[in-house]
Amino acid sequence: WRLRGINIINEIYDTGSFDWKVFSSKKKQELPGVYETIMTDFSNTLICCTKRKGIYQSIVRRFLIFMIKSEKDIPAIDEVLLRNFLVKISTDKPKSMDDVITALKKFLQHLNETNFTENRYYSILAAPRSRDRKVKPCMDANELAMMMNCINRNTPGGKRDYAILILAATTGLRAGDIASLRLDCINWKRNEIQFFQGKTSEATILPLPQNTAGRSLSFSSQRLCASE
């Protein structure tokens, strides 16, 4: 936090203002020109949110740098190179290996489709992987009912909270997607919720639970957001 404060002060001193952003001491590693072009073309094929696109770009850039340091080029990509890279990056990103696998699979598939290589090593990465995390048990119907019955639905805040929990329990929506919902996301005639997912930026349509559309949303001017 001290370093962040210093960076902000330096930016104000140099420019007279500052923008909210993430300050990082890590410098972007440059690639030879042909690889930068390949990276740009690959990035243009990604259909996801800006944050996730940046994650995939960072992983692929590290892979290309690892490939160059291993004295190989794209046609020479093989199982050994992939395995060695996965072993190396797993020490830095032990909890993000799903992102690593997805990024590599998308990149290698892009290389195959654009004729940079005839190898189909991206199919190897599609193999199921074991997970080291436990699957948390779900709430049973009685526990869910007890939780819902604790909410005072005679107040606007209680109606909002009830609607939020009903949406979470019946639709499986992410917390961030529920928090960003607005009333204009709801098609009342069709009893549907229409929105763009925050994680994937994909358009999604879900049925609106009947008990959410009824008593809990009788107020019309408030956002369905936990912060209000």
Residue 171 exposed, middle or buried by CB count within 10 Å (0-12, 13-18, 19+): middle
Q: Compute φ and ψ for 146, nearest 5 degrees.
A: -60, -40
Helix (H, G, I), strand (E, B) or coil at 94: coil
pTM score above 0.75? no
Query: Tell me, what's the pLDDT at 223?
Result: 40
Query: Tell me, what's the pLDDT at 41?
Result: 92
Query: Tell me, what's the pLDDT at 143?
Result: 87
Query: Tell me, what's the pLDDT at 222?
Result: 38
What is the Cα 60 distance to its own chain's centre?
A: 17
Per-residue pLDDT tens listing for the chain (228 residues): 888 888 889 888 888 887 776 655 556 667 888 888 999 999 999 888 888 888 899 999 999 999 999 998 888 888 889 889 988 888 877 778 888 888 998 998 888 888 887 777 766 776 655 556 666 777 788 888 888 889 998 999 888 888 888 888 888 788 888 888 888 888 888 888 888 887 777 888 888 766 555 443 333 333 443 333
- Residue 78: what residue type? D
What is the Cα 21 distance to its own chain's centre?
A: 18
84: its two tokens: 């060695």
Query: Tell me, what's the pLDDT at 21?
Result: 66
Query: Tell me, what's the pLDDT at 63?
Result: 93
Query: Tell me, what's the pLDDT at 190?
Result: 84
- Single out the residue of 149, 176, 172, 173 nearest to residue 161, CA to CA: 149
Residues 6+ positions from 35 with CB-CB distance below 8 Å = 64, 68
